[in-house]
Structure 1
Amino acid sequence: MFLAGEVEESQDEPYTEENDDLYFDLPPILTVKEAAEFLRVSTHTVYEMCRVYHGKFFPHFKIGNQIKIPRDKFVEWIKNGGINNYKENVASEDSKRHTQKVRESKAENMAKSLSKNENSKKFETKEHEKKLEEKEVLNKKEASKYLGISTAKISQLLKDEKVLYTKRDTRYIIPKIALDTYINSKGQVSWQDQVKKYSEHKCRI
């Protein structure tokens, strides 16, 4: 039994001698049997060389189901190293494809890892948003996330009294109802109206 890319070794060494006189007796188009006899290998070896990597490293073509070997390319193949060179080419191709598979596997694992991290971040974001929904009052950072704007923008809204707030020491305490009122009124609500809305909902800050 032969593995992919292997060729059978006969008792005699495969023919690789560079002697142009010996090529004259070859027909213009060789059969598998004729090529095997000339190389001193089995027909199985020739078929295998035609099969591995779709015959990339052995000159041949097909007519129906029959394999034919053009003499000129066959002679050139022998002069370029024949079976020994064929083995080196197959080994090199095996190595390239293995390296490519390893790279693809690493890329796939990395993509899965990134997707997992992204899903984890989305879950954490949803959990955080859920917690914000449950809170009655928020700080500036939480308020910026609730409105989807920067903390600098929140600071400006507070300064302009567009959003109701109170302060404890240096901390801003912002009722969530005030943010909802700002959203619903599209920012067109007075401080007094915000206080009224806040009082109606009896939110303590």
Structure 2
Amino acid sequence: MSQRTLTFVTGNANKLKEIRAILGENFPLKLISLKLDLPELQGEINQVSIKKCQEAVHRLKKPVLVEDTSLCFNAWNGLPGPYVKCFLEKVQPEGLTKLLKGWDDKSAEAVCTFAFCCGECKDSDVVLFQGRAKGKIVDRRGSNDFGWGYIFQPDGFQQTYGELPKHVKNSISHRYKALIQFKKYFGVE
């Protein structure tokens, strides 16, 4: 009997590798990836995730998992939030730190939202799994496997995501916290 698959919509091989590591070998579905250019939607974090998931199901006609990651500056009342990808394209991670230069408050929250749908995809059919990590924005330190990881220092650590060993990051990050909920949904502890 072959293992059921779930399509994770991403073109980022590092993200797929990290998610597989967090889910572990006993996860009941085989995660495969597919790059699909979805529109960059506007709205609140949950709205963006739901609409991305609905669009992916509409195009692929099969169960999907999508992820939307936000970086929320407290000094900016949550911005750039779900628009962080657009900010990164224009100003790069170093530009994000410059955006906070005039602010005393460098605190931020990383938010990862996974949206899952297994069939027809109305709003009520999309299940969200969200993880949050508090931290602060610092000058660039460490590797840049992911967009802004080397400028985000999680609370309780002296290193950025880019400096932390992968096994440590994968046990504390916003993505990890969201995937723990996802695993529980499928009965995996």
TM range (shorter): under 0.3
TM-score w.r.t. the length of structure 2 is 0.21
Q: Hey, which of these two has a bigger chunk of helix by percent? A: 1
Larger radius of gyration: 1
Structure with higher strand content: 2
Q: Looking at both structures, which has the greater relative contact order when contacts are Cα pairs under 8 Å and sequence separation is at least 6?
A: 2
